[in-house]
Structure formats: structure tokens, C-alpha cells
Chains A and B, each alone.
Chain A
Amino acid sequence: MAIDESLYPIAVLIDELKNEDIQLRLNSIRKLSTIARALGEERTRKELIPFLNENNDDDDEVLLAMAEELGVFIPYVGGVDYAHVLLPPLETLCTVEETCVRDKAVESLCRIGAQMKESDLVEWFAPLVKRLAAGEWFTSRVSSCGLFHIAYPSVTDQLKAELRSIYGQLCQDDMPMVRRAAATNLGKFAATIEPTHLKTDIMSMFEDLTQDDQDSVRLLAVEGCAALGKLLESQDCIAHILPVIINFSQDKSWRVRYMVANQLYELCEAVGPEATRSELVPAYVRLLRDNEAEVRIAAAGKVTKFCQILSPELAIQHILPCVKELSSDSSQHVRSALASVIMGMAPLLGKDATIEQLLPIFLSLLKDEFPDVRLNIISKLDQVNQVIGIDLLSQSLLPAIVELAEDRHWRVRLAIIEYIPLLASQLGVGFFDDKLGSLCMQWLEDKVFSIRDAAANNLKRLAEEFGPEWAMEHIIPQVLEKINNPHYLYRMTILQAISLLAPVMGAEITCEKLLPVVITFSKDRVPNIKFNVAKVLQSIVPIVDQSVVDNTIRPCLVELTEDPDVDVRYFAGQALQAYDQVSMSS
């Protein structure tokens, strides 16, 4: 039976579907398509899929993988004509208690439903949605909410009316989880519904949700506002959505106001410029001045996005005064959120307004006592640079940078180091040499390893930015000065810097300047340095000429292989072996 032999690996996979070991089951599920291809379409339909349908009492991880695989399974069961056979196992997965499995099953069902024929949707998919929506356990009702938008467009008018009414019931379900799911999916469902029903059925569901007792449901209703608003005509949006969102913006619950602050800008387009000016701007200003810091954080974070929609005049007139207040807000998190976006306002307001109004705010944020605020400003410097020019910027900027570079929190120093190459490219070589060069060297001797490591990397990136010649003058000498540091950890940093710089600097400089230093290190008294020398030498080999390798590097490595320390011998041996392999193959 020749066929059986070729199928042997498949048999193993199938066997592993039932293995005790979860990892094996997982592997097998991941190869479900291979199994199906081997079985052929008919047997997949009649045997594999029913088997999977029974196999739903498994670990969440396995179920999750199964839900995912089934989503792309249509080709293996014989194309869209047979897509419906995939529904039962996914329906079962829609009822399990682990949320991510259910979500994945819903996602897969949507994917399959989107490809199914209209007649099949009516025959198979819509009944499935109805079954889930009427499920005893709320898990199935939750899952059903995410499927209506697939079933709805293809079914008969009568069924459509039924689906709408079922969805209405889900919006009033006893379990808050179901109402949350209904609120989450309302926008998607609404997008498939005819305009006439949109204004009646959907809006009344929406109203129910906006008046829910549970804050968590109303939060999600807020999220639906923008999506619904986009579906409605501008005047309907003003009539139905706008009052709701204005109400929400004054909700008793700060979490609801927080959501409004996050979403408000999305609604501006839907309601048009007139209503934006008369209604949304005042609402937004109120949120910017909210009592609750969390709300101000959300509002401050959207300042730029909101201003993009407004005309510069409106922004300057209404928003800018609030921004000024926020820049000295009592909460550091509010200031930090503002700092992360405020630079984006510069291009919107133009040069004059920026210099006059924004620059003082930038400067006060740059002097903020809270490092995150300062970092957020510095990370977006390029946006301002274009508007106000480098001179003005550098005058006000430099003290702040220097201060941050010496901040006592190493994470702050680390963040600043990461911005140095960006700053360097923006500020240019001349400016960099004066002010920042010494800082870069200082970090190489930082007390914290991560900083030293980042400093070495930084040098490499600078060398790439400004070229080898500049590096030859401004980096290499300073680095090589430090090789005699009495502490081996600092010497190790130098070694690290050398290995990073070597590829950038090219063969000549490496041989002339860097290699001799490395060779000296091989005589170091600390074994850790010596085996790092071995590693560095290995990395230098491809850069330099063969002759250099033979005359300098190899002898050095050979010597290290006779070192008393076992680790040094090991790494030297490794380096030699790698080199020998390369030279053999070439």
C-alpha cells in the first residue's frame, strides 16, 4: 500500500492531535491545512471537521490555534460551496469562556462569512447568528454581536427585521458583558443597515446604550459615536449624535469624559465646520479644563489632532489659551501628554504664532522638573526646527539637553542618548562638536552598564552620520585615550566601542589605529577582557586584509588559545575555528 507510506507523516500529525502533550497538539493544529490537503476535500469535510468539532474541550492555546486555522480553511473543504461545514466547530468555539478564543472564532467566522454565497448565508450563517444570540450562556450572545454585520446584507427583508430586533434585545441584555459587546459592534452593524432603519432602529439602540447604568457600557457607546456619525448625513448627525456627545462630555463619570476627550476630534468632520465651531470647540475646551487629571491627559494628547481640523484662527483664539494653562498644569502626566504632541502645533499655527505663543510654552516645558516632559519635547524637535529655525532652537534647547544628559535617573540618560544621533543630524556638525561631543565621551564612563553600552552604540551611529573622517578627528582619539582606565569594565566598554566602530571606519583606519589597541588588550590581566578580545578579533577578520589577519590577528589568537583561563581559551578557539572555516571555503 504505497499510499499509506506517503501518508505516514500525516498519520503522525493526526495522532498528535490527540497527544497528551499540549505542545504536540498545538503543532499538529498549526499544520491542520497540511493534514486536510493530504486527506482531500471530502474526507476533510466528513471526517476532520466533525472530529475538530468534538475536540473542543482542550487548552485555550490549542483552541485559539484551531479558531485561527479554521478561518482560512475554505480551500481545503472544497471551496466556498462547502464553506458552511466550517461553521459548526467555530460556533462551538464562540461559546468557550476564554475571550481571546471567542474573539478569534468570531474573526474567522466573519472571514468565512464574507466569502460565502448569499444563499448559503441565508441558509447557514443567519441561523447560526440567531442561535448564538439566543444562547443560554452569555458567551455565545457576546460572540453573536460580532457577526450581525456579515449576515445582515444578504438576507431577506423579513429576516433583516428579525436580526435588527434581536440586536435591539442584545443591547438590553441582562448581562453587562453582552451589552458591552453590542455597543462595541454597533458601528459595524450600523454600516450595513439601510439609511431608513439607521435613523430609527439603530438610533434607538444607540440611545439605550448611551443611558446604560453601567459606565463600562456607556464608555463603549462613546466609541460608537464617531463611527455612527460618519454613517449619518451631516444634519442627522447634528440632530442625533451631537447632543449625545455634548451630554457625554459633561457626564458624571470621568471615564466617560475621558473617552469623549479621546474621540471628539473624529466627530468634527461628521458634523461639519459650523457645528464644530459652535458646539464641539466649547465642549473640547471644557475637557481641557476638566477637574480630573486623567481627562485633561486625554484631551491634551489630542490637541494637535483637534487643531488640524480647525482653522488657525479658531485654534489660536480658543485652544491656545488652554494649552498655555496646561503647560503649567499641576499634574506632570498632563504636561507630559501635552509635551508629546505640542510640537505638532507649530506647522499648523505658522512661524509668527509659533515664535510668539508656542515657543514660551516649549521653553517652560523644557525646563519642567519632570524628565518625561522634557524628553517628549526633545524627541519631536524636528517639527519645530522647520518652523522657527535652528538658531533660536539651539539657544533654548542646549541647557535642557545637557541637564538631561546628566540626569540622575539612568533611564533618562538612556533616552537622551538615543536621541543624540537625531539631534546631531538636525543640528549639524559644527554645533555638535562644540556642545555635545564631550557628553558623548562622558557617557562611556557612566556607572551604569546600559548607558555605557548605549554610548558605544551612539558613537557608531555618529560615525555613520558624519563619516569616517570626522570620526577620525573627533571620536577615535578620545576613545583611545581611555584605554588605560584602571577599571576593567570601562576598558571593556572601549573594546566594545572599537568593535562597533571598526566596520564603519574601514580597513585602513582599523589596521592603523584600532587593531594595535585590541592586540594590546590581549595582554590584559583580566580574563574577561581577553576573551572579549578574541570575540572582537573574530569580528574584525572580515574587514581587514588577509595579510593583516595572518600576520597579526592569527598569532594573537593562537597565543590566547594557550591562556591559563578556560574561557579565554574557549573563545580564542572559537574565533580561530570560525576563521579557518571561512578561509577553507574560500
Chain B
Amino acid sequence: MGSSMRTMEWKFSQVFGERQPGEKVEEIDTISAVEFDSEGDYLATGDHGGRVVLFERTNGNYPCSRKELEHIDSPVTLLPLYRYKTEFQSHDIEFDYLKSLEIGEKINKLRWCTCLNNSLLILSMNDRTIKLWKVSDHKVKKAKEVNSNAHVYSENALLSERSFMSDHSKPSVPNGYPLEWDEWVTKKSRYISPTVEEGPHVMLDSGKCTSSRCRRVYSHAHDYNINSISINSDCETFLSADDLRINIWNLEVSNQCFNITDMKPLDMEDLVEVITSAEFHPVSCNLLAYSSSRGFIRLVDMRQSALCDQNARILQDREAHGSRSFFTEIAGSISDIKFAKDGRHILSRDYMNLKLWDLRMESSPVISFKIHEYLRPKLSELYNGDFIFDKFDCCISKDGCHFATGTYSNIFSVFCHDGGHIDGITLEASKNPNRISHNPDYHKHTGLFTSFACGFHRRGHENSSLNNINDVPCDLNSKLMHLAWHPTKNLIACAAKCSLYIYYA
């Protein structure tokens, strides 16, 4: 797709869970994961309260009114619109008695599984436990009215007790049935066949109801916090990665998994790095990539050996820019990696940069977008406030030329790298995303627009412990960490606190 960023105008599409400025946001409502399914027909979010909310695509709509449409000469595809579908409580607070450790219910990642039939399957996880949820629609039939004339029952009515209990052929209660009868009819309505509906005792189909059921729990395999799950292209296995280990599971087997990477040193004193993120290759079932806190991306071929501790190819930015310090080491920790759809490129996000890697070039990224360059002088303050450990997601478009990632002040940046052309744009997660600035030459103006954005967001500082770094030109408490790119369309869903904003281009 050669469409350059200049024509990519990002517009607000939808918002869910919007709050008024100043309205108190509960911690548990904060969204912690956003994920589209493989077709883009469904969107899932997880939050700090352990809940998973699903949105489904309504059949789509034109991106603008008919009138506007006439002025656009490029063919317009249907813009996906979403509506709330269902939600369920996926995880609860647990307590690990052996380690005297409370395990929070926060959903760290969500991953959609291949649809088996008309129900949806989704993997959700908190720090220690992965669960497979099935969400399906049931037809609900309600007994509208029970016809007092028993003889109109179709032959299936054999399966009601009427055929066997003599008192039903001559009702013991005048003009009706014993009390239990009515109760029973309502109770059985769930199971009765549709053919019965032909009779006058209509079981009305009162529409669908969505039910969520936990089908499997994959637990007790991780001693450290899980940071990633990823489903293999064989649709049979998935990986889960914690700080030190990567395990492979079969989706159907929840009591056994295989460890393929174990970075735990014999002596924890020798620990130099942790795994921060892991993902399977989108096409090759045998490849996976995982990133580390030292800024490496390791590419592993599971065909080579059962244990993938060695034999990894390492993608590493060897042209370490500028002075190395304690803080740049920390800021170099990769928070998220994503494979491009073609499987040739990997997008990585560390605290300072968004980098695009070509798997065939190990020594440096193809391109590096500076996100937080203006924060470089403030790293030590950011360290003191623990902000330097914030983990921002990144996402990549279907064509592999556009990338997005979040930052502070509820802002996210969208970049384009299309052959020689490089472009960037910064948007605010609000109903008016472009009000900040629209600057193709993004990093020169960063300081300017972020301080401008600051004006809008007073609430972030309300209970900030960070009053000592007032001169940081952004709102550190309004982090936009989680976002996802629609699998086929130019549509981005991003989470700002408890609100989910959707934008299209």
C-alpha cells in the first residue's frame, strides 16, 4: 500500500467508557490490554480489575456522511464500528500461601484463539495464571404462555411427563395443572426443541444471550510474573513467558507444559537480564522472538533443539547511541515486540524509541523513531518516580508500513515507513485527536506540543507524587500504554485510563 501518511488523516471513530474531565477513575477500571481478533470482527479489553470486555463489530458504516463521501475519490471501504458484546470476570485476586504473595487480578495480555465454531475463544492472563474462555451465544426461549389445552402438544411432548403421569390426562386440578407443572415448563424451556414452537404453546425466542465459560486454566507453571502469551501458527500450541522462562503449552492440555527457555542463573546474584516480551512468528511455526531487558531481541528456531537457551540469533542495536549510563541501560529495556504480518520485520518498543527490525539484519534496526527524546535529560527523575519502568505497547498495520505506540499525556504516535518516505504524526486520545498538532516532522516539535497538551490534563497531577519534576513537559500520569491495530483496516484502538478510543484513517 503506497498510501503515504500525508493522506492518512486520523479521525475519531468511537469511544467506550469515556469519563468527564475531573471524574474520578477507579484504579480497577483502568484498561490493561487491548486486542483485536484475527479478522477484526471482535475487540477485547482487559482491565486492572480482572475483567475482560468484548466488543463486536456491527456490520460497519461509511466513514463519513454521504455528502462527504462524494468528495472522496478513493474507494472507501467499510469502516468497522463496534458495540459492546459482553464482559466477564476472568481473574480474581489470589494469594500464594507458599510465597506469602498476593497475585493481582490485573489482566496483562489477551489473545484470541482460532474460532472453532460459532463460539469465541480467548486466552487471558494475569501475573501467574492463564485461562481459556469460551464466549458463545445461546438462543434463549421463554415460555410466553402455557396453553391449557394439553392435547396440542406435538409428539415431542412425550418428553414431558404428561405422557406418563396419569394425572395429566385427567387433571387433578380443575382448569389447569398442578403448580409444579408451570414451574417445570419454564425450567425446561432451555432444552425444549424448536419443533415444539410450531405448536400454539409458543416458546418465544427472545433473542440471544451471551454466556462466558472458563474452559481451561493453565496454572502453576510460572514462578515469576507472566508478561506475554502468543499463539502458534499451528493453532495447537501457545507460549507463555515470564521474567526468566518461556513455556510451551498445548491448548487442549492444561496440566503440562514444556519449558523451552530458562534464563534463571544458578545464583540469582548473577542475573543480568530478564525476558520482557515474547511472540511467535506469524507464519513459521518453529520461530519465536523474545526481547530482553538489555535491549536484545532473540530469535529462536524451535526445530534446532528442544531447549532454546542457546542457538538464538540476536538482534541488537550495536551502534549504541551516545553516552551509556545507568539510566540509558534501563531505558533500553524492550517493553513490547510485534511481528509484522509478513514475518520479516519486528517492531520493538523501549522506553525511548520505537524500532523496526529486519530479521536479516542483526546489527541495527532498519529505522528508529525517537519517542521520548525530550525526556532524556530527565531520566534520573523518571527513575526516581518509577516512570522509567513504564511499559508501552506498540502495534503495526497490516501492510507493515505503519506503526503506532503510546506515550504520556494520553498521546500516541503513528509513524510511516514506506520505502524512503518516513513520516510521523501525534494524536491525543480524545474525541478530537488532531487538536494537539499535526506535524510531519515529528521529533523536532515534540517539546512544543506536549507542553501544549499539558494544559488539557490537569487531573493527572492531582495526586501525583511527581510534583518534584514539574518541569517534565508532559503529563506523566496520563499514560497511553495499550493500543492495537486492526488486522485489516487502518483502525487503531487505544486505551487511555478506563476509556477505549477508536480512530480510523
Contacts and interface: CB of A to CB of B under 8 A. Distances in A.
Nearest to B193: A54
Contacts of A369: none
A293 B310 CA distance: 14
Interface in A13-69: 14-15, 17-18, 20, 39, 43, 46-48, 50-51, 53-55, 57
Interface residues of A, number: 48
Interface stretch (A4-12, A199-207, A414-422): A4-12
Interface in A156-198: 175-177, 180
A97 interface: yes
Contacts of A1: 166, 169
A43 B158 contact: yes
A175 B265 CA distance: 40
Interface stretch (A121-129, A249-257, A438-446): A249-257
Contacts of B304: 252, 254, 292
A253 B303 contact: yes
Nearest to A176: B234
Interface in B341-400: none
A465 interface: no
A5 B169 CA distance: 13
Nearest to B213: A59
A137 B138 CA distance: 18
| A50, A51, A53, A255 pick with most chain B CB within 10 angstroms | A51
A47 to B, nearest CB: 4
B78 interface: no
B195 to A, nearest CB: 7
Contacts of B155: 46-47
A51 B164 CA distance: 17
Given A176-B236, A253-B286, A254-B303, A55 B114 contact: no
Contacts of A39: 158
Interface in B287-306: 302-306
Contacts of A176: 233-236
A556 B43 CA distance: 75
Size bin of chain B's contact surface: 35 or more
Interface string B118-144: 110100000000000010001000000
B490 to A, nearest CB: 26
Question: Main SS of chain B's interface residues?
Answer: loop
B165 A11 contact: yes
A95 interface: yes
A180 B232 CA distance: 15
A138 B116 contact: yes
Contacts of B114: 175, 177
A451 B155 CA distance: 65
Interface in B244-266: 252
Contacts of B236: 176-177, 180, 216
Contacts of A5: 166
B303 A97 contact: no
A364 interface: no
A57 B233 CA distance: 29
A214 B269 CA distance: 40
B306 A294 contact: yes
Contact of B193 (A46, A50, A99, A293): A50
Contacts of B116: 97, 137-139
B252 A99 contact: yes
A213 interface: yes
Given A1-B166, A11-B161, A139-B117, A215 B194 contact: no
B156 interface: yes
Given A4-B164, A7-B164, A292-B305, A214 B187 contact: no
Contacts of B158: 39, 43, 47-48
A39 B155 CA distance: 13
B234 A214 contact: yes
Interface string B161-198: 10111100100000000000000100110111111000
Contacts of B166: 1, 4-5
B285 interface: yes
A489 to B, nearest CB: 26
Given A20-B187, A99-B252, A14 B159 contact: yes
Contacts of A251: 303
A47 B117 contact: no
Nearest to A95: B117
Nearest to B168: A4
Interface string B484-498: 000000000000000
A10 B285 contact: no
Contacts of A10: 164
B210 interface: no
A137 B116 CA distance: 6
A291 interface: yes
A18 B188 contact: yes
B164 A47 contact: no
Contact of A254 (B117, B163, B252, B305): B305
Contact of A255 (B118, B169, B252, B303): B303
A449 B304 CA distance: 45
B284 interface: yes
Given A137-B117, A176-B236, A215-B234, A11 B164 contact: yes
B177 to A, nearest CB: 15
A47 B306 contact: no
Given A18-B188, A176-B234, A216-B234, A51 B156 contact: yes
B283 to A, nearest CB: 8
A57 to B, nearest CB: 6
A46 B158 CA distance: 10
Contacts of B235: 175-177
A97 B305 CA distance: 32
Please list the 10 inter-chain residue pairs (A to B) with the smallest Cβ-Cβ separation, ordered nearest first: A54-B193, A11-B164, A97-B116, A253-B303, A137-B117, A1-B166, A18-B191, A47-B158, A294-B306, A18-B188
Given A97-B119, A177-B114, A180-B236, 16 more contacts: A1-B169, A15-B161, A18-B191, A47-B155, A51-B156, A51-B193, A54-B191, A54-B195, A137-B118, A175-B235, A176-B236, A213-B285, A214-B234, A215-B285, A251-B303, A254-B303
15 contacts: A1-B166, A4-B165, A17-B159, A39-B158, A46-B155, A48-B159, A53-B193, A97-B116, A137-B116, A139-B116, A177-B236, A214-B233, A215-B285, A252-B303, A294-B306
